[in-house]
Amino acid sequence: MGTINLSIGTYEKKVFDLVKINHILFEECIKKNISYAILLRDWIKECLDQRISVNKVAISINKSEVLRYIEVSSKIKILT
């Protein structure tokens, strides 16, 4: 899946769909200022800027521990 002409919102949604992140609950983590959620959002934005495919981003996120850290830090189950 390419990245040409995708907005950050669309790109992030596509990544979240692949990783199975509940976007509404993720936004709650952002509102609570959970640092790992903010880090993930910045990471996804950087990947868009570098034109990395959403599939590759999803694979990298799944390999990392960031989703577990978000859930532990926020006590919100963001994975569907």
Q: How much is the pLDDT for 38?
A: 95
Q: What is the pTM (predicted TM-score) of this model?
A: 0.89
Residue 18 near residue 54, CB atoms below 8 Å: yes
CA 2 to chain CA centroid, nearest Å: 17
Both tokens of 54, joined, read: 């959403």
Q: What is the pLDDT of residues 31-78, one digit of tens each?
A: 999 999 999 999 999 999 999 999 999 999 999 999 999 999 999 999
Q: For residue 80, name the pLDDT band (cuts at 50, 70, 90).
A: confident
